[in-house]
């Protein structure tokens, strides 16, 4: 087997959510391996700064960027075509972009946030997968890497909307892998379940306790791990703070035990106000009487 550097040199890699966190770390890792990079993010200014740093640090001249909402399928088609036009081929697409949910229990959550979380975290993966697939058919080797979460393995209290999106990514990716294996087995499909990675995804005031307690693994470590495991064609990649424990618990513990264990742990995160018995989310709405 070639070295990681030799394996990725001159391969074209698409990374979403590349302006910060895991996406930025992935861009750095693949730049250091000599890959061509097509990077996108909603934060265009931060994305350009990331690309400029890559060019300066790694002499990575083969970098293009696109300010883009991954929930927009038309933007995806344009972005993928731009990458193909620039580099002549696409080898890897890493659907990494994601946002946090309400960080509140179901009865304290709003539907608009749920819709947006699903649009970015799930449909962003769908659009990326569907858009890039035709460009991978004729490559001798290719990979689509979809980032779920350890919350795509277990349902965590105060994260129903986020869990829903990441469970959806898991189901979609596992089914897609089974389907593609029948006709294009040279295209690898990887599913990533990060644990607590130190990123800025947790931005809400009510999620800061969770961030301090759980988001501790450096993004660079999981980025290097992903690159190695993709090269080795590991179907499920689990890495980061508490990821191994959660993975094992999801496979071994009965659901009622798992729910109590996770619920107890999450309720320690200063969210007592959302768990009031008289919370408005438990109240029957007033009925309007037509006159």
Q: Could you please report the per-residue DSSP string of 193-251?
A: EE-BB--S---SGGGHHHHHHH--B-HHHHHHHHHHHHHTT-SEEEESBTHHHHHHHHH
Q: Could you tell me if residue 136 is left (phi over 0), alpha (psi between -120 and 50 degrees) or otherwise beta? A: alpha
Calpha distance 255→249 (Å, rounded): 10
Give CA–CA dist 112/91, Å, rounded.
35
Vertex 219, ends 228 and 31: CA angle to 5°? 55
- Rounded to 5 degrees, φ, ψ at 162 are -65, -45
Q: Which residues are catalytic?
A: 162
Give the pairing type, strands 187-194 and 236-239: parallel
In terms of C-beta distances under 8 Å and separation of at least 24 residues, what long-range contacts does 246-255 make, across chains too? 246/150, 246/153, 246/154, 246/195, 247/150, 247/153, 247/193, 249/154, 250/153, 250/154
Helices then strands (H, E): number in the chain?
Answer: 11, 7
Residues 187/143, Cβ–Cβ less than 8 Å = yes
């Amino acid at each position: 087997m070639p070295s990681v550097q030799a394996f990725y040199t001159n391969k074209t890699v698409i990374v979403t959510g590349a302006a910060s966190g895991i996406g930025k770390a992935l861009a750095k890792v693949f730049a250091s391996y000599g890959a061509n990079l097509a990077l996108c993010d909603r934060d265009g200014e931060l994305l350009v700064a990331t690309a400029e740093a890559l060019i300066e640090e790694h002499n990575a001249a083969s970098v293009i960027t696109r300010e883009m909402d991954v929930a927009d399928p038309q933007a995806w088609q344009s972005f993928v075509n731009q990458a193909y036009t620039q580099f002549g081929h696409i080898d890897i697409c890493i659907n990494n972009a994601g946002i946090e949910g309400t960080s509140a229990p179901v009865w304290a959550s709003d539907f608009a946030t749920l819709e947006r979380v699903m649009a970015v975290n799930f449909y962003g993966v769908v659009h990326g997968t569907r858009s890039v697939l035709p460009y991978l058919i004729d490559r001798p080797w290719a990979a689509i890497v979809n980032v779920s979460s350890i919350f795509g393995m277990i349902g965590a209290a105060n994260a129903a909307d986020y869990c829903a999106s990441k469970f959806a990514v898991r189901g979609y990716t596992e089914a897609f892998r089974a389907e593609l294996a029948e006709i294009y087995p040279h295209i690898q499909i990887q599913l990533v379940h990060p644990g607590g990675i130190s990123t800025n995804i947790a931005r809400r005031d009510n999620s800061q306790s969770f961030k301090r307690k759980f988001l501790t693994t450096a993004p660079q470590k999981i980025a290097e791990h992903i690159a190695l495991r993709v090269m080795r064609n590991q179907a499920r990649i689990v890495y980061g703070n508490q990821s191994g424990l959660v993975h094992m618990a999801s496979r071994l513990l009965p659901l009622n035990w798992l729910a109590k264990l996770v619920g107890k742990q999450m309720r320690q995160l200063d969210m007592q106000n959302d768990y009031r018995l008289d919370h408005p989310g438990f109240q029957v709405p007033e009925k309007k009487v037509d006159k």
